[in-house]
Amino acid sequence: MWLGSEKFSAEDMEAGVCSDRKMSTQLPTYLLGYLFTTEEMRAIFSDQRRIQAMLDFEAALGRALARVGVIPQASAAAIGSKCDAKLFSMEALSQEAALAGNLAIPMVKQLTTLVTKSDEKAGGFVHWGATSQDAIDTGTVLQLRDALELMDQALVKLCDAIARICETHKSTLLAGRTWLQQGPAVTLGLKAAGWLAAVERHRERTREIRKRVLVLQFGGAVGTLAALGDRGPAVAAALAEELKLALPNLPWHAHRDRFAEVATTMGLLVGSLGKIARDISLMAQTEVSEVAEPAAPGRGGSSTMPQKRNPVGSAVVLAAAIRVPALVSVMLTSMVQEHERGLGGWHAEWETLPEICTLTAGALAHLTQVLGGLEINSSKMNANLEITHGLILAEAVAVALGEKIGRMTAHKIVEKASRRATETSRPFLDVLMEDAEVRKHFSAEDIKRLLDPKNYTGSAEAMVEKVLSDRKQKP
């Protein structure tokens, strides 16, 4: 953990505060930070931001208590004036959390010390009626609010990049592939439309979960708000208003479905991003060479092979797609918590959920960059359509012949011809025309038309248009 460059005296460390001196807000140097996440998302889940979010809860709690008449307005103001993470010793918080079991206990201790120095009476009202989990969970919710907003902006940019590919290449032919083997032609626009439709669904999911996750956590020791007597509900309502969060019908200390839903939603998103990255990296293979990631100085090189142009963006996305599911499983497993406040399961979330969010943000950023500058080699796509010498259109011939002699009989004839063409390395057209049943119903020109990929793309273009049209209807 980065502790800042400022030195503190023994007295400061013993008190656990930085007096009125300010700690640097500079983020730590993290060697892989730019590779696996974004600076913005890393800032949201930095140590400084984590503590500030918890302090925002404490400041808002003071204001809510004053609004309801539990504490004086002056005390609320005194508390709020010290709710600045720059006044706190991160080193002391880190060390004391190891003993206390969470960050809220030493943070409240430091805050109380700071407030008491300026207003002894107000110091007695710090954290009034709350418990550690209230500060930690609500602080996490405040971080998630910023993270989800950032995620939505990133998803919009990604969708824009994919939509441009759909529009530009809705008719660009390339081989469809099933089980990594070539099949009939599709269009690049259709492939991208599949990507776009999936990401648009994830946009809907990330927006939908906000109403369930952006809620206050405030229940006191066991979720009854007993320390506030009959004024507990009023304080909770005022606190939710202060933080601009929804007020749930009751505290949710041991019910972790809200945070688990964020994790699983991010897991689904990263899975789709991984599918797109897998497609791109396969299409970028030397032997296929249909697309390439954007070129830039220092990007995708090799330490030993000068000719290499590695798909580094896809690699990062795929790395996230490997890591995130395991982290999601931690969040799901941690849902099984004990009675009114969990032991261990709650603790397991603290680093896991931020890591899921930061990895997702990195994958989004890399994929947006890749797709925004994707180099598309349509001539190689056309060349790849020809490498089977017509075999990828066997289905088209079988369908046309089936209309004349029945599906099963036609399938056997075309299957036999396909096998002969493969074994003898001859054009599929020539082998087909050697079959008397084929010649009985089709001329060589008829078969040539059936083997033209552009004549067998079905509703591909219409599907692309439908995806693009549906997107325009969404906010």
- As annotated, the residues of the chain forming the CATH 1.10.275.10 domain(s) are 32-130+221-243
**Beta strand 173-178 pairing with 181-187:** antiparallel
User: What burial class does residue 382 get, using C-beta atoms within 10 Å of its C-beta: 0-12 exposed, 13-18 middle, 19+ buried?
Assistant: middle
- Which residue type is seen at 116? T
pLDDT at 472: 86
Residues 6+ apart with CB under 8 A from 5: 24
Kindly list the catalytic residues: 302, 341
List, for residues 33-84, the tens digit of each pLDDT value: 788 899 999 999 999 999 999 999 999 999 999 999 999 999 999 999 999 9
Task: Give the whole-angstrom CA distance, residue 216 versus residue 249.
Answer: 10
Q: Is the pLDDT of residue 20 over 50?
A: no
pLDDT at 222: 97
Q: Name the CATH code of domain 134-215+252-384 (choices 3.40.109.10, 1.20.200.10, 1.10.238.10, 3.40.30.10).
A: 1.20.200.10
Q: Which pTM value belongs to this model?
A: 0.90
- 337 contacts 346 by C-beta, under 8 angstroms: yes
- Which residue type is seen at 74? A
Task: Give the whole-angstrom CA distance, residue 363 versus residue 329.
Answer: 19
Buried b (16+ CB within 10 A) or exposed e, 264-300: bbbbbbbbbbbbbbebbbebbeeebebbbbeeeeeeb
Average pLDDT rounded to a whole number, residues 264-270: 98
- As annotated, the residues of the chain forming the CATH 1.10.40.30 domain(s) are 391-450
Classify 401 as helix, strand or coil: helix
* CATH fold for domain 391-450: Ribonucleotide Reductase Protein R1; domain 1 (1.10.40)
Is the CATH number of domain 32-130+221-243 3.60.21.10? no
Per-residue pLDDT band for 307 (boundaries 50, 70, 90) equals: low
**Residue among 55, 56, 35, 37 nearest 45 (CA):** 37
Residues 6+ apart with CB under 8 A from 98: none
- Calculate what percentage of the chain has a pLDDT beyond 70: 91
- Calculate what percentage of the chain has a pLDDT beyond 90: 88
